[in-house]
Structure 1
Amino acid sequence: MDKKFGSGPFREILRHISYEHLAAGVSGGVVSTLILHPLDLVKIRFQVNEGISVAGVSTPKRPVYRGIGHAFRSIYRSNGFTGLYQGVTPNVWGAGLSWGFYFFFYNTIKVYMQGGDSKTELGPLKHMLAASEAGLLTLILTNPIWVVKTRLCLQYDLPPSKTASQSGTRYNGMVDALIKVYRNEGLRGLYKGFIPGVFGISHGALQFMAYEELKNLYNNHYQRPIDYRLSSLEYLTFAALSKLFAASITYPYQVVRSRQQDQHRTYNGLKDIIAQIYRFEGMRGFYKGSIVYFGHVTPNICIVFLMYEYIVNHKVLNGLFGRIEQKLVDQEKRSRKTSDLIEEPNVIWDS
């Protein structure tokens, strides 16, 4: 039975798994989120703000921001420094797990496609395929966390009665939000925004395709192997360029996703969201919050990729786990010696 389980494609996939990619992605996601969450908070609030008052359309009462600077000042004035980190807990969990799972799945799939040879070039289409598969698996696992993050970020500083009348509930942290969303809306509530998220997989696919191709072209230009270790500045440059390339093409899906997850507003499906944005706000509506977003994603992706490449290339985790493994081996040796000393008199006595 063990032989069957450990053979075929499943065994091949297991052979290419490297958990350092998971840990490296989690580390980068957590650190970047802790530093840049205030920008993410403001971005979401701009994305859902219709800025209109139309007969027959019920729009919730929201804070009015005259610009990015005014948004930061207003939030800080109302809630202090902690207000700028509203929703940070699910964001840290979501970003950490998303980057961790994404890098883990992506590199497992990529190495499997390469047949274990890191010097094998895959080309743009295979890079996009690997990134798309990794993105879908990651989205399935993390979508509930993103729903909760959006709702906590959109829990405005209003009296409880007003907030309750608009959203029907008030959330007291990440776990409370997960429980209440599931209790009130079921599993569908936890997967709101999933369909726009599926379209958003193209974002990650384009980003990783561009990142890999830029590195390959750069190394080929200097006649170096494609797995050549670059400098930190080179990694940062390619990470930023690939992110800006993908974001400029796919940003509208994020606006649609945020609006579907907004607890203060009800739409009749994705078509209704898209139609209302276009009808009342025009094409500009699909790019609301984009200035804050680009100011957020550029340093964010640089931090994530810098930490990721450093941890993977310098084998940081190999050293850590190597020390742990050595301690376990030493402990096992000591246990065997102790066991031999205890058993030896019994052997003599039995004889």
Structure 2
Amino acid sequence: MSTPGTLRRPLPLQHLAGGVAGGVTSTLLLHPLDLIKIRFAVDGGAMRARPQYTSVASALTTIVGSEGVRGLYRGVTPNLCGAGASWGLYFMFYSSLKSWMQSGDPSRDLGAARHMLVASEAGVLTLALTNPISVVRTRLCLQTTLDATLPESKRYSGMLDALRKTYRQEGTRGLYRGFVPGIWGVSHGALQFMAYEELKSLYNRRRGRPVQHRLSTLEYLQFAALSKLFAACITYPYQVVRARLQDHRASYSGSADVIRRILSHEGPRGLYRGLAPYLLHVTPNVCCVFMVYELVTGGGGGGR
């Protein structure tokens, strides 16, 4: 949704800074749960030569036992970069597009449909810029001590090495594996933003206040958590599909092939592998992001 007026409007860099700070802080605290979520998401896929986990507790003890505490932080560098960039860009794009649609009037209530439209546009822009980091993050999180048997081209020493080898072996297409289900995932952000904005607006209207009235930090956190849980439960399968497409040890022809094989071998339940650790990770994650975001920007935000 680009017009000359939009391009001339200065980007709200304070929202970028707030999103980056929130994403980095939450990732430092909660990366182990994100790693476990990714490993659960690919469990049951084409490659079975990897550790098997029966629960979040089982995954934690198995990883620490075989890889040490350091194993819980595999892939943390691209996750820090990805989370910081994703949250920062998303908040920046969203706030800029929202301000444009409001014609600079923050008291104007856009309604559910327009909130979803703005969030979708912000999500697509963010995904296009950050998908290569997501690919590297997934592959590094999936590395275990069993990978010593893999060819050198599929073993990574770090984020830059993974980027270089992925591009060298698979080209630009390799860096954009999972992009299509990522587009599906834009609906996640759209649903979350819509729910978050509508909850805030309804809450303020019921109290006879303007829709842009600043809430307390606790109120922001409650609405952020509720909207995130709402979106996550509806759209989670795209994360399983995306993780399997980005898994360097498996081979699929596309998203439809992943879904067909999951349903054939694991049933509908396979589309929700990793949901428990995801919810354990995402609720404190989004609360942490919003808390830091509020401190940095001094104002209300959205969600991702």
Could you state the TM-score of these two structures normalised by the residue count of structure 1? Answer: 0.83
Counterpart Cα distance in 2 of 1:49 and 1:80: 21
Note the alpha carbon deviations across 1:312-342, whole angstroms, 9 max, x for none: 2269xxxxxxxxxxxxxxxxxxxxxxxxxxx
Cα deviation, residue 79, structure 1: 1.8
Counterpart Cα distance in 2 of 1:90 and 1:9: 33
The equivalent residue for 2:221 is: 236
The equivalent residue for 1:150 is: 138
- Unmatched tracts of structure 2, length 5 or more: none
The equivalent residue for 1:104 is: 92
Contact in 2 for aligned 1:60/1:265 (Cα 8 Å): no
The equivalent residue for 2:240 is: 255
Counterpart Cα distance in 2 of 1:127 and 1:16: 21
The equivalent residue for 2:17 is: 23
Note the alpha carbon deviations across 1:155-199, whole angstroms, 9 max, x for none: 111262x233xx852101000000000000000000000000001
1:64 aligns with 2:52: yes
Counterpart Cα distance in 2 of 1:145 and 1:314: 29
Counterpart Cα distance in 2 of 1:113 and 1:17: 14
Against the structure 1 CA distance between its residues 250 and 178, is the aligned structure 2 distance closer, same or farther, given a 3 Å change threshold?
same
Cα deviation, residue 292, structure 1: 0.4
The equivalent residue for 2:174 is: 189
Secondary structure at the aligned position of 1:185 is classed as: helix
Note the alpha carbon deviations across 1:130-178, whole angstroms, 9 max, x for none: 0000000000000000000000011111262x233xx852101000000
Contact in 1 for aligned 2:23/2:80 (Cα 8 Å): yes
CA RMSD of aligned residues (A): 1.6
| Pairing 1:1-351 to 2, within 5 Å after superposition | 9-50=3-44, 59-158=47-146, 160=148, 162-164=149-151, 168-313=153-298
Counterpart Cα distance in 2 of 1:188 and 1:156: 25
> Which of the two has higher C-alpha Rg?
1
Which residue type is aligned with residue 139 of structure 1? Answer: L
Secondary structure at the aligned position of 1:141 is classed as: helix
Note the alpha carbon deviations across 1:23-75, whole angstroms, 9 max, x for none: 00000000000000000000100100117xxxxxx634010112111110111
- Unmatched tracts of structure 1, length 5 or more: 1-7, 52-57, 316-351
Quick one: higher RCO (CA 8 Å, sep 6+), 1 or 2?
2
Cα deviation, residue 256, structure 1: 0.3
Contact in 2 for aligned 1:16/1:112 (Cα 8 Å): no
Contact in 2 for aligned 1:13/1:112 (Cα 8 Å): no
Counterpart Cα distance in 2 of 1:119 and 1:127: 14
Cα deviation, residue 80, structure 1: 1.4
The equivalent residue for 1:336 is: none
The equivalent residue for 1:346 is: none
Cα deviation, residue 9, structure 1: 3.9
Which residue type is aligned with residue 310 of structure 1? Answer: L
Counterpart Cα distance in 1 of 2:82 and 2:124: 15
Against the structure 1 CA distance between its residues 252 and 159, is the aligned structure 2 distance closer, same or farther, given a 3 Å change threshold?
closer
Counterpart Cα distance in 2 of 1:284 and 1:168: 33
Counterpart Cα distance in 1 of 2:256 and 2:246: 15
Which residue type is aligned with residue 195 of structure 2? Answer: A
Contact in 2 for aligned 1:193/1:257 (Cα 8 Å): yes
Which residue type is aligned with residue 96 of structure 2? Answer: T
Cα deviation, residue 11, structure 1: 3.8
Number of positions where the alignment pairs a residue of Structure 1 with one of Structure 2: 299
Counterpart Cα distance in 2 of 1:274 and 1:11: 42
- Residue identity (%): 58
The equivalent residue for 1:54 is: none
Which residue type is aligned with residue 58 of structure 2? Answer: H
Secondary structure at the aligned position of 1:84 is classed as: helix
